[in-house]
A and B are shown apart, each in its own frame.
Chain A
């Protein structure tokens, strides 16, 4: 029995601390590598455009992180983001203060549909969100008439995606940072956040402890939908158009970021900062490949990006599988 405790001790240490530390170290190494190797890597332009582009992925990864912490999954985020980008673009003539909430609400609407299908119809999250993924894609195409929807350049809508707060910090980055911090506070400092973790860790225990599990599950899907919606608004505002065909594979990129960030897929353990680091890590790999190609030393095509992503994911999974098997063993004995 003491043996079990020791196994679990290494297990939680590794997962709770060192695997999140690993992702930070990896991130730092890549940044250092980039800074030393490429002249413009540390330029305001590169950092700005890098963060601007990746803010969308950070958002959906944070939303996904919450869902995965409950032991669920949200496959719909990519097409929901595309749908929200179309909604926001259509609303853009009315200005940012209509289009922004409009896009977020569009995302939350699909989050609500997910929560309803999962909680009330008792359809497993995987199938439920798979279906809403198709439905959101369909809705985006119907609403846009299969065209990219140009945003209004007269209104202030594109301010969000194309200009900077106080002249230096792009608005998207600022907004993303606020969402990340808010999410982090909710997770770490509120009863709701703790319930999310408890539901994922041990659903039965959470119920017997008298926690409001249904509310926590509804929350994570709504939140994930809202994050996807906001990402969609960024997409429309930053690239000047609502793009119904965007978002393919985003859900998997988000899942990969969450997993690399050390969040247990079975739920119950997760970290918002490490998820952000995971998303940045994947973004950086791409960024560095770009620079490498720019230098012409090697000509790694952009296609390597996904191969490398898969490899990274495999690495993390192997690590997780090893420590998880320790956990499982001590649970059964």
Chain B
């Protein structure tokens, strides 16, 4: 089958080696452009700074988690535990800086309230990674364990209570502004650029794509397949942990039952719309950002024009199916 594909593509590629890819890429960009155009013409107050601010602050956490999800999907995996890990990290942070130690040492408290949750998140990723890489558990099931119990642990830690706080240093994560735009927007951008660079330029990135593209061949070429997989799950969970901290900082409150709820779905959707394929081997990081922005913009457009949130949900579902269908069709 792939033989057929390669020769069929060869026919096209003789004329223009990039035509297939660029057309697909442009397709998404054209859709985004049309969406922007539509909004500029029809949506009231679209070209206001406030609109940008709202959208950026809403999309940032999804984008950050989607970056990790894209890496995991590139290994032919999926990480369902991101939402639960967000809750865990988000529940831990206030516990730390509101503890007696944290109150006594505010600076150190906040530092620990960022570092410790991230380490715990990374440990969750390690757990996922070991199950996947060493025990050959299917990723969807391996990460299902923490999906179920991660949020439970967070709820147990906080006893299910809403933790409210006012801690300006910590809240900067979610409410700070740089050049008039939300801090987390810049953070998401920096993370995306960093990981895009990581994928394109480093040993890890190359190994990641090789493992996802053909695990057997990669192993035979000396790629440390297990290490790469574990590292990827650790990255995904750490980014989820960071996103959890941001969500808590935005709200100046931590509700373990709600932080990161359904985040796994949004992140998978963003990654897939951005061009990640479930069969692995591709890690379009900037695509994931594009996917997150695209989905957010569709939602915003619908909401701003009087459609309800639930209609937006249905449209999102259609977009996901359509994106995967197009991928599938172009491969067959």
Q: Is B9 an interface residue (CB 8 A)?
A: no
Q: Which of A279-333 contact B (CB under 8 A)?
A: 301, 303-311, 313-314, 317-318, 320-322, 324-325, 328
On chain A, which size bracket covers the interface? Answer: 35 or more
Which residues does chain A contribute within 8 Å of B312, judged by CB atoms?
138
Which residues does chain A contribute within 8 Å of B265, judged by CB atoms?
130, 133-134
A325–B136 contact, CB under 8 A? yes
B151–A306 contact, CB under 8 A? yes
Interface residues of B, dominant DSSP: helix
A135–B318 contact, CB under 8 A? yes
- With both beta carbons as reference points, the residue of chain A lying nearest to B278 in the complex is identified as A124
* A309 in contact with B324 given A133-B265, A146-B310 (CB within 8 Å): no
* Most-contacted residue by chain A among B155, B309, B321 (CB, 10 A): B321
Q: Is B35 an interface residue (CB 8 A)?
A: no
Q: Is A187 an interface residue (CB 8 A)?
A: no
* Most-contacted residue by chain A among B80, B147, B329 (CB, 10 A): B147
A266 CA / B140 CA spacing, docked (Å): 12
A310–B152 contact, CB under 8 A? yes
* Most-contacted residue by chain B among A141, A248, A314 (CB, 10 A): A314
Contact with B along A135-162 (1 / 0, CB 8 A): 1011111100010000000000000000
Contact with B along A220-264 (1 / 0, CB 8 A): 000000000000000000000000000011001101100100000
A121–B140 contact, CB under 8 A? no
* A321 in contact with B320 given A307-B152, A310-B148, A310-B152 (CB within 8 Å): no
Q: Is A122 an interface residue (CB 8 A)?
A: yes
Which residues does chain A contribute within 8 Å of B148, judged by CB atoms?
249, 252-253, 256, 306, 309-310, 313
B268–A303 contact, CB under 8 A? no
- With both beta carbons as reference points, the residue of chain B lying nearest to A79 in the complex is identified as B313
Interface residues of A, dominant DSSP: helix
Which residues does chain A contribute within 8 Å of B325, judged by CB atoms?
117, 121-123
B313–A137 contact, CB under 8 A? yes
A321–B310 contact, CB under 8 A? no
Q: Is B332 an interface residue (CB 8 A)?
A: yes
The residue that B144 contacts in the complex, of A139, A255, A301, A307, with Cβ under 8 A, is A255
Q: Which of B105-156 contact A (CB under 8 A)?
A: 131, 135-138, 140-142, 144-153, 155-156
A301–B159 contact, CB under 8 A? yes
B146–A137 contact, CB under 8 A? no
Which residues does chain B contribute within 8 Å of A309, judged by CB atoms?
148-149, 152
A141 CA / B269 CA spacing, docked (Å): 20
Q: Is B78 an interface residue (CB 8 A)?
A: yes
Q: Is B160 an interface residue (CB 8 A)?
A: yes
Q: Which of A106-139 contact B (CB under 8 A)?
A: 117, 121-124, 126-128, 130-135, 137-139
Which residues does chain B contribute within 8 Å of A128, judged by CB atoms?
321, 324
Q: Is B311 an interface residue (CB 8 A)?
A: yes
- With both beta carbons as reference points, the residue of chain B lying nearest to A303 in the complex is identified as B155
Q: Is A23 an interface residue (CB 8 A)?
A: no
- With both beta carbons as reference points, the residue of chain B lying nearest to A314 in the complex is identified as B145
A313–B144 contact, CB under 8 A? yes
Which residues does chain A contribute within 8 Å of B152, judged by CB atoms?
303-307, 309-310
A30 CA / B296 CA spacing, docked (Å): 47
A126 CA / B324 CA spacing, docked (Å): 11
Query: How many of chain B's residues have a CB under 8 angstroms from any CB in A?
Result: 48
* A138 in contact with B145 given A130-B268, A306-B151, A307-B152 (CB within 8 Å): no
A142 CA / B318 CA spacing, docked (Å): 16
Q: B237 → chain A, closest Cβ, in Å?
A: 15
* A303 in contact with B156 given A126-B78, A135-B317, A310-B145 (CB within 8 Å): yes
Q: Which of B301-332 contact A (CB under 8 A)?
A: 308-314, 316-318, 320-321, 324-325, 328-329, 332
Which residues does chain A contribute within 8 Å of B144, judged by CB atoms?
252, 255-256, 313
Which residues does chain A contribute within 8 Å of B149, judged by CB atoms?
306-311
Q: Is A265 an interface residue (CB 8 A)?
A: yes
B320–A134 contact, CB under 8 A? yes
* A266 in contact with B138 given A121-B325, A301-B156, A305-B152 (CB within 8 Å): yes
A313 CA / B136 CA spacing, docked (Å): 15
The residue that B321 contacts in the complex, of A123, A265, A313, A314, with Cβ under 8 A, is A123
A134–B314 contact, CB under 8 A? yes
Q: B222 → chain A, closest Cβ, in Å?
A: 20
- With both beta carbons as reference points, the residue of chain B lying nearest to A328 in the complex is identified as B136
Q: A302 → chain B, closest Cβ, in Å?
A: 8
A135–B136 contact, CB under 8 A? no
A313–B328 contact, CB under 8 A? no
B328–A123 contact, CB under 8 A? yes
Q: B116 → chain A, closest Cβ, in Å?
A: 20
Q: Is A277 an interface residue (CB 8 A)?
A: no
Q: Is A73 an interface residue (CB 8 A)?
A: yes
* Most-contacted residue by chain B among A121, A306, A309 (CB, 10 A): A306
Which residues does chain A contribute within 8 Å of B153, judged by CB atoms?
307
B278–A142 contact, CB under 8 A? no
A306 CA / B148 CA spacing, docked (Å): 6
A122 CA / B328 CA spacing, docked (Å): 7
* Most-contacted residue by chain B among A133, A139, A308, A321 (CB, 10 A): A321
5 A-B contact pairs sorted by A residue (CB < 8 Å): A124-B324, A142-B308, A255-B141, A303-B159, A306-B149
5 tightest A-B CB contacts, nearest first? A310-B149, A306-B152, A141-B310, A138-B313, A303-B155
Q: A141-B313, A146-B308 are in contact. List 12 more A-B contacts (CB 8 A).
A: A127-B272, A130-B269, A134-B314, A134-B317, A138-B313, A140-B310, A303-B156, A304-B156, A305-B152, A307-B149, A307-B153, A310-B148
Residues of A within 8 A of B (CB): 73, 117, 121-124, 126-128, 130-135, 137-142, 146, 248-249, 252-253, 255-256, 259, 265-266, 301, 303-311, 313-314, 317-318, 320-322, 324-325, 328
